[in-house]
Amino acid sequence: MTTLDFIVIAAALAAIGVVIWYFFIASRGHAPMRHEH
Amino acid sequence: MSDTTHRESIRIPVTGMTCSACQARVQSALARQPGVDDASVNLMMESAAVTFDPAVTNPHALVSAVRNTGYGAELPAGDLSPLAEQEARDLSQREELRAMTRKALVSVAAGVLAMLLPMMLPMHTPALPFVLLALSATVMLWAGRHFYVHAWQALRHHSADMDTLIAAGTGAAFLYSLVATFAPGFFVAHGVAPNLYYEAVIVIIALVLTGNVFEARAKRSTSAALRALVELQPATARVVRGEAVVEVPVSSVIAGDVMLVRPGERIPVDGEVISGSSAVDESMLTGESLPVEKGAGDRVIGATVNRTGAFHYRATTLGADSTLARIVRLMRDAQSSRAPVQALADRVSEIFVPVVICLSIATFATWFVALHVGGASPGTATVRAFAAAVAVLIIACPCAMGLAVPTAVMVATGRGAASGILIKGGEALQRTGDVSTVVLDKTGTITEGAPAVSDVLLAPGARRGTDALLELVSSLEAQSAHPLADAIVRHAKAKGLAKQNIQSNEYLVGRGAIGTVDGVALVVGNAALMRDRGVSTAALDDRASALAHEGKTIVFVAADGALAGMLAIADPIRATSRTAIDRLRAMGLAVVMLTGDDQRTADAIASAAGVDRVVAGVLPEGKVAEIARLQREGAIVAMVGDGVNDAPALAQADIGIAMGGGSAIATEAADVVLMRSDLDAAVQSILLSRRTMRTMRQNLFWAFIYNVIGIPVAAGALYPAFGLLLSPVLASAAMAFSSVSVVANSLRLRRANLS
């Protein structure tokens, strides 16, 4: 594995982290639990 | 509910929703409004049903809450009848479909052009990338615009839906190609071929749009039954005004107007026949295939077709209260309701898109590293990894999941209505499918519900003949409202017997009547009443017992203290009851008959009808207790009744099925309303519900399995072993196919054979 590979992996992990943060953590209070019947 | 505060309900039309994630978003936006108790958004009907506290919020606030989520909403037009409302929705759906079809066709043409151009033009034509760029930008901005608008709106609200996936997939491909077009040197410098993905962008949008068009067309046919009902409404009526008959629009008919209907015409509104007679085809509303004879005093239903004769009738219920409007409203509410099985699909589709985006990123990184470590140049690795990542984005479609349940509910309720079975929504469908025990009311359900005198017997040595006896008894019973009394009076009237003077009368609940008619002291009633009054029935006991074993109800008559004779009253079993009950048992259901009759009569009817369990001698309250007892034993109970006096029992049962439909009480208390008085319709409703549940499970299974298989394949799971990889274009075709196949599976319910 070269440095390039590590950069790509780190970037991907960071991107996944952002996605999870944005849709599941930062959305709290913004999109609360859906209404259940 | 102990909460006594005032609540209001409103139905808000919502536009622009394309998948279940949109629906979830609008629903949660409404649910979190202060003062909202309940919000249910339906994607298929494009509407939100909201129950709210008018002291806290108002319809305007609700509409703007929806608009803030990025979807269109309007205050419902208050004075529209359900029929007009349905027509308006049809029109806008048709226009939407037309626009969508046009966009899909143009995109497909552009896609074909984009694929052919590079082959027809000489290699490395310098203008080619720019031509393709212009083509794809046009398709994206014009035909695919709503994908990006919705994706952006969703993103701003920290949510993502299927438009997000399409926007991200095509957007990434477009940006990549854009850089390759304007700065090919940048790629070349890093050892990457400046590949163009313009045609992939165009073809993906074209395929998704084509899928949407098929889906929208299929969705339209799921509500075809509702539309067919709306179209039944006649435009004009012939009203008798003084001497003349004038043709006026149906909307200007008022209650009490007298109307003329000729053979072959559609009956404009509900009413009651005044004069004339005819056979009326009510099949469109009741599913009853034979025309029904109508004469003076009979009720006719608007939108049914008059076949043989002309008649005059008086308008009764109109507009929103009419039978047709009530059926349409019931069906519309049913179709927009949610089945409990949907909850799973909802939860999955909510977290689905962000998870897919993560998977796509992981796919890119994995592929890149694997290829690079395997010796590929960074350029080749990037291109291949990029294609796989885009394919993952494109193939993952929560759409089929969102369609799995609502399309089945819509088709099934429509299919039911075509057979005169009105099912009140997804929950009712699901519970009807789970029923284990069917409780049948005897009178009016298993039997015709029209008792008639079958035998009149005189006691040995009686002084009066049968006619004289009947004359006395019918005079006494003429003032009673009891169905048996009614049967005696009708019998006497049919024989042309006169009425005598009544000197005194008294009616005893559950026993009979006593009184003096024409100077004769009469006691008319059951054996218990005779015993009380010291009248011996011994002379007729053998005959009475024999008749009771035939399922007939016995009424003894004593005149001046001595037994004079007896009447046997039969309520014949409906022709279809026996086979219907046999079918219920063949379906593995326990069948129980409830009746107020005595045990002997009940047993006789039960054995003739094929019922295995009988509970006799129950009063209306007793029916509720009996159903509750069955439920405690673990049975899921469907109660079938005529809805007239068993509304409490219908409500107690897990599923209330009201027969002979249309009465307001029945529609209120029951979960399933049968428009025809035929036990077989009850069987069909259970059968239809079971089929529907099966279809829903199939749909959910296919929608899930499609993603479970599709995503790994797109990510390249099969590549190491088989060298199999999905191109983004193939992925978009597969995605379109999955939604269409789910809708098509639901549409199969339309042809379900229920007999």
pLDDT digits (tens, 9 = 90+) for B192-248: 667 778 888 898 888 888 878 877 777 677 667 777 777 787 888 899 888 888 888
Mind telling me how many Å the CA of B714 is from chain A's nearest CA?
Answer: 18
Q: Are A19 and B362 inside 8 Å of each other by CB?
A: no
Average pLDDT of chain B? 84
Question: pTM of the prediction?
Answer: 0.73
Cα–Cα separations (whole angstroms), residue B743 to B109, B379, B696: 26, 42, 11
Q: Which of B388, B396, B399 is nearest to B173 (CA)?
A: B388
Q: Is B163 a catalytic residue?
A: no
Task: Note whether B691 and B440 are within 8 A (CB).
Answer: no
Answer with the residue of higher pLDDT: B465 or B480: B465
pLDDT value of position B190: 63
Report the DSSP pairing between strands B655-658 and B278-281. unpaired
Q: How confident is the model at residue A35 (pLDDT cuts 50, 70, 90)?
A: very low
* Beta carbons within 10 angstroms of residue B375's beta carbon: 8
Residue listed under structure tokens 């027969």? B659
C-alpha B389: how far from chain center: 41
pLDDT value of position B135: 92
pLDDT surpassing 60 at residue B94: yes
Q: How confident is the model at residue B359 (pLDDT cuts 50, 70, 90)?
A: very high
Q: What's the one-letter identity of residue B150? A: H
Which chain B residues are within 8 Å of A32, Cβ to Cβ?
Answer: 28, 32
**Residue ranges with strand state E in B357-471:** 421-423, 437-441, 452-458
The CA distance from B356 to B397, in Å, is: 9
Q: Are A12 and B362 inside 8 Å of each other by CB?
A: yes
3-state SS class at B158? coil
Q: Are B28 and A35 inside 8 Å of each other by CB?
A: yes
pLDDT surpassing 70 at residue B4: no
Longest CA span, chain A: 53
Task: Note whether B63 and B75 are within 8 A (CB).
Answer: yes
Q: Are B372 and A35 inside 8 Å of each other by CB?
A: no
Q: Is B374 on the interface with A (CB under 8 A)?
A: no
Cα–Cα separations (whole angstroms), residue B118 to B196, B454, B595: 11, 90, 81
Comparing B15-19, B29-33, B176-180, the range with the smallest average pLDDT is: B15-19
CA dihedral B480, B482, B485, B490 (to 10 degrees): 100
pLDDT value of position B102: 94
- Strand ranges of the sheet holding B271-276, from the earlier edge strand across to the other edge: B244-249, B236-241, B258-261, B311-315, B271-276, B299-300
Task: Note whether B540 and B563 are within 8 A (CB).
Answer: yes
Q: Which residues pair with B259 in a beta bridge?
A: B239, B313
Task: Note whether B352 and B163 are within 8 A (CB).
Answer: no
Helix or strand run (H / E) with residue B696: helix B679-715
pLDDT value of position B369: 93
Q: How large is the angle between the packed helices B577-586 and B599-609, nearest 10 degrees?
A: 70
Q: How large is the angle between the packed helices B59-68 and B20-31, nearest 10 degrees?
A: 140
Please name the residues in contact with B166: beta carbons below 8 A apart, sequence gap of 6 or more: B144, B147, B151, B204, B205, B208, B393, B394
**Cβ-based contacts under 8 A for chains A and B:** 72
Q: Are A19 and B159 inside 8 Å of each other by CB?
A: no
Q: Which of B278, B325, B332 is nearest to B300 (CA)?
A: B278
pLDDT value of position B185: 79
Which segment, B463-467, B692-696, B712-716, is predicted with the most confidence on average? B692-696
Q: Which residues pair with B15 in a beta bridge?
A: B72
* Of B30, B39, B158, Cβ closest to residue A23: B158
Q: Computed from CA positions of residues B124, B125, B130, B132, in that sequence, does the dihedral angle turn out positive or negative? A: negative
Answer with the residue of higher pLDDT: B141 or B724: B141
Comparing B479-488, B598-607, B661-670, the range with the smallest average pLDDT is: B661-670
- Catalytic position from the list B441, B597, B678, B680: B441
pLDDT value of position B366: 93
Q: Is A14 on the interface with B (CB under 8 A)?
A: no
